[in-house]
Structure 1
Amino acid sequence: MTARLTSYAHDGLTFDVVDEGPLDGPVVVLLHGFPERATSWRGVTERLHRHGLRTLAVDQRGYSRGARPRRRRDYRLPLLVGDVVALLERVGAPVHLVGHDWGAAVGWLLAARRPDLLLSWTAVSVPHPRAFVHAALTSSQGRRSWYFGFFSLPRLPERAARPGGALERGLRRSGMTDADIERFRTEVVADGALPGALAWYRALWLATGPAGRARVRVPTTLVWSDGDVAVARRGAELSAAYVDAPFRLAVLEGVSHWIPTHAPEPLAEAILDHAGRRTGQEEQA
């Protein structure tokens, strides 16, 4: 793929892509989480580009303006994975995949089902799905995940998203800054992406089959932060048991859940380790 990719079509939807960095560099595909968009990766991509990597940051289903179906069932996890598979097949060569929050949930399943499409997998914040479930039963994870139920309610979360409302207050307690909140207001609420973003939670209860049970056979790094109020350490520590490949757990101290925006430097280093591009001295831009 030698031309810039600004969008791609799949399943009757059109997805926006931010394609940057050297056109001939190894490709890193970046999947954002809730409630953010491709812009959350800016601090990370700048460093990756200096090391010769090309980045494709996609606005996922519900976030891209051309990819906002209204039905809850259109946000089931296999469909979300299929959107990314379509992008990777468009690239035409194995890539380094990185996903934060919900993007990590998509990435874990993709890594298990289509290892042929990946050179490496870097999960950010969220552990393997089976490790997450185990942690919910044996640690504070169940209590930390209370918001899954709230976000699944009809209409109420949208009402709570008014400026200064309950949703914003919760995001601030999780570590979001004023700048983060402003991006949320502009890119998610004002742009009309919030219903689609919440549909990821609402469709979670429609899951069928052992979607999260498959083992991962791709070199994997999980980057977790000890200031994360949403994800307990237990799930991060259990994830290695579900990876049949080299696995590394990187723990960032004093960092909130919002690793891509609050700790882009160490996250980029973890990705560069996978990509074989960490030299200790940055290349000239």
Structure 2
Amino acid sequence: MEIEARGLTFDVYEGGPADGDPVLLLHGFPQDHREFDLLAPKLHAAGLRTYALDQRGTSPGARPAGVGAYHLSEPTADAVAVLDALGVESAHVIGHDWGAIVGWWLASHHPDRVRTLTAVSVPHPKALGLALRTRASQRARMAYFKVFQSRQAERLLLARNGAVLRGMFKPIGARGDQYVESMLHDPARLTAGLNWYRATTGSSPDTPGVIQVPTTYVWSDKDGVVSLTAALRTRDWVDSDYEMVAMRGISHWVPEQAATALAEAALRRIGRV
């Protein structure tokens, strides 16, 4: 469906029982709602109603110009506005990568709209910030940020038929090709996705604080981005029922590489409420 919110048009993909508890699914970069194609049916089978949102920059009708339009406060406000348009007072939130970060922002600034949070791959921003300040290994893991923020990023990522992007998706094989093809056919989508990185210039006063909604954080030991330090210190920033789930042998692309295990973790979190 198309949802009008904040003067933009968002693509939202719904599924599951009409009377099921709502679950908002938030994708990361360089993906879209399809990264939840393997997860959503498992949530539907448990009686949940899912809304997979193509976020700002991915939905063609929600692609404002200018880097400033992609500061994290904007996609956070988008998510709230989409919930309003859907008539959903509060939802269970499952977010991966940038979607996890939006989930942290939602849970911090709009806790009344978040029943539970399942954050996948990306830890609490303050825990990540600590790891960046104290661990050279975490800084090395995130060196790609400067590349993605550069003016050369589009050319680099699209060169040789998207070879760099395809390499990123190697752990999920052919499933990654659909995202690469979308970028090749719609380069403006890639630029908008990279603007999320370009709008990130460091800590800001509205960075999420202590989370007071029930939370599960899912980390995988083959994730090349997030160190164990950042994962473990996330516990410091949740003042509610909390669980950390560590997956062995799984890469950054958890929703597609380990959909069953992720579904079990999310349903366990949702079932506690």
Separation (CA, whole Å) in 2 of partners of 1:154 and 1:16: 28
After TM superposition, the structure 1 = structure 2 runs for residues 132-147 of structure 1, keeping only pairs within 5 Å, are 132-139=128-135, 140-147=137-144
Q: Structure 1 residues 170, 50: closer, same or farther in 2, change over 3 A?
A: same
Gap runs ≥5 in structure 2: none
**Which residue of the partner structure matches residue 281 of structure 1?**
none
Match for residue 27 of structure 2 among 12, 17, 32: 32
How big is the alpha-carbon RMSD for the aligned residues of Structure 1 and Structure 2? 1.8
Deviations 1:127-151 (A, max 9, x none): 0000001011222211100111000
Separation (CA, whole Å) in 2 of partners of 1:158 and 1:111: 36
TM-score with structure 1 setting the length:
0.90
**Which residue of the partner structure matches residue 201 of structure 1?**
197
Q: Structure 1 residues 144, 210: closer, same or farther in 2, change over 3 A?
A: same
**Which residue of the partner structure matches residue 154 of structure 1?**
151
Could you list the runs of 4 or more consecutive aligned residues of structure 1 that deviate by over 6 angstroms after TM superposition? none
**Which residue of the partner structure matches residue 230 of structure 1?**
225
Asked whether 1:67 is paired with 2:62, we answer: yes
Deviations 1:35-59 (A, max 9, x none): 0000000110010111110100000
Does the aligned pair in 2 maintain the 1:125–1:231 contact within 8 Å?
A: yes
TM-score with structure 2 setting the length:
0.93
Secondary structure (helix, strand or coil) at the match of 2:38 reads: helix
Q: Structure 1 residues 98, 145: closer, same or farther in 2, change over 3 A?
A: same
**Which residue of the partner structure matches residue 15 of structure 1?**
10
Separation (CA, whole Å) in 2 of partners of 1:85 and 1:226: 32
Q: Structure 1 residues 74, 39: closer, same or farther in 2, change over 3 A?
A: same
Name the amino acid aligned to 1:234: T
Match for residue 114 of structure 2 among 109, 114, 118: 118
Deviations 1:183-242 (A, max 9, x none): 12223332341111111001112x673222421100000011001011111111000101
* Count of matched residue positions in the alignment of Structure 1 and Structure 2: 270
Asked whether 1:80 is paired with 2:68, we answer: no
Name the amino acid aligned to 2:7: G
Q: Structure 1 residues 50, 210: closer, same or farther in 2, change over 3 A?
A: same
The percentage of counterpart residues that share the same residue type is 41
Separation (CA, whole Å) in 2 of partners of 1:246 and 1:156: 40
Secondary structure (helix, strand or coil) at the match of 1:121 reads: strand
Gap runs ≥5 in structure 1: 1-5, 278-285
Name the amino acid aligned to 1:265: T
Does the aligned pair in 2 maintain the 1:36–1:188 contact within 8 Å?
A: no
Asked whether 1:100 is paired with 2:60, we answer: no
